[in-house]
Amino acid sequence: MRRQQVASSNGLQSVTEVANRRQNPRPSIEFGLMYSAQDHRGEVLMGDGMVTDLSPTGLGIRGNASVKQGMDLTIFLYLPDGQDPLFIMEATVAWVMETKVAGASGRRFGVEILKMNLRERNRLSYFLRSNLAYSD
């Protein structure tokens, strides 16, 4: 099995090493999301994709719009609970990995959650506890 590399501020790290820096486990899941940011020119970037893993402090994303490490995002998670999207006011891109699978390219990246209101944070905690066997 070939080790995949991701860009970091200190050079390249393996995906395994990035995962090992996490403070919380991230169970594998998959549901929709939308994200937005401003690029270095002030242009608004909009993307959508799938959440691939989730914890109280971060999430993995497979998205359709290119992001860069250190970029600040606003995220709407479409939790499979039938409620309005969960709003993450601010998250920062921790790592980015461009992938090519069967001729198609994709963008995988991880974000650290920086800012959520208390109601949304409680909703995320409840979702993790009840659906993903996660405990704080």
Task: Determine if the pTM surpasses 0.95.
Answer: no
- If one compares 42 and 113, the residue with the highest pLDDT of the two is 113
17-24: which pairs have CB atoms within 8 A and are 24 or more residues apart?
Answer: 18/94, 18/95, 18/110, 22/55, 22/57, 22/58, 23/57, 24/55, 24/56, 24/57, 24/58
Domain-by-domain residue ranges, the chain?
5-131
* Mean pLDDT, rounded, of the chain: 80
CATH fold label, 5-131: Thrombin, subunit H (2.40.10)
